[in-house]
Every structure is written in structure tokens, then in C-alpha cells.
């Protein structure tokens, strides 16, 4: 249960790490959308985190 609550915050942290590693020039060179918002990157990372949680949950339920 706690994984579903923590996932958005973890995704935000990962998005900020991504933005920090890319730097301002990197974000302007390779933007998914508007480089000033980073909203699209956050949603992509959040969907990947939720996908991983769902896949793990399905694998766990198949093992039972």
C-alpha cells in the first residue's frame, strides 16, 4: 500500500536527478516537450515506476 503513495514522490526525485544530470543545455537540446516545465518527463517516469510496481505485484500473485 505504501508503495502507491511513495511512487509520485520517488518519481519527482528521479525527475529532478534526470534534470540535474542533463543540465540546462541538455534539456534544451533533447526536450520531450517544453524544457521549462519537465511535466512530460515526470509523467513518463511516474508511469514507469507504476508499471514496475504492477508487474512485481502480478509476478508475486502468480507465484502463490
- Span 13-47, pLDDT tens digits: 888 888 888 777 776 666 565 656 677 888 888 89
**Backbone torsions φ then ψ of 34, nearest 5 degrees:** -85, 120
Of 10, 18, 13, 11, nearest to 35 by C-alpha is: 18
Q: Domain span at residue 38?
A: 2-63
Query: Predicted confidence band at 2 (pLDDT cuts at 50, 70, 90)?
Result: confident
Per-residue model confidence (pLDDT) at position 19: 80
pTM of the model: 0.69
Per-residue model confidence (pLDDT) at position 27: 67
The tally of domains found in the chain comes to 1
Look up residue 47 and give its three cell numbers. 508511469
Contacts of 37 (CB under 8 A, 6+ apart): none
Cα-to-chain-centroid distance, residue 36: 17
Amino acid at each position: 500500500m505504501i508503495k502507491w503513495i511513495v511512487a509520485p514522490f520517488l518519481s519527482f526525485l528521479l525527475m529532478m536527478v534526470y534534470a540535474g544530470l542533463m543540465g540546462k543545455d541538455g534539456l534544451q537540446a533533447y526536450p520531450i516537450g517544453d524544457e521549462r516545465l519537465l511535466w512530460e518527463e515526470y509523467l513518463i517516469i511516474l508511469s514507469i515506476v507504476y508499471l514496475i510496481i504492477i508487474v512485481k505485484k502480478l509476478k508475486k500473485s502468480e507465484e502463490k
